[in-house]
Structure 1
Amino acid sequence: DPLLQQKPLTAIEQLLQQWGLNREISNNLLSDLYVGDIVHKVDFVVDENGTEGAAATATYLKRSGGNVLFRADTPFLLLVRHDATKLPLFYGVINLPAPNFV
Structure 2
Amino acid sequence: MSKALITDEEYRRFEDIIFKVWRVYEFGENEFTQAEKEHIKKVFEQLNAEHPRECKIIVRHHLKRVYYTTMALEQGVSEGYIRKLAKNGAYYFLQFYDKQ
The answer to whether TM tops 0.5 is no
* Higher Cα Rg, which structure: 1
**Greater helix share, structure number:** 2
TM-score category (smaller protein): under 0.3
**Greater strand share, structure number:** 1
Larger RCO: 1 or 2 (CA < 8 Å, sep 6+) = 2
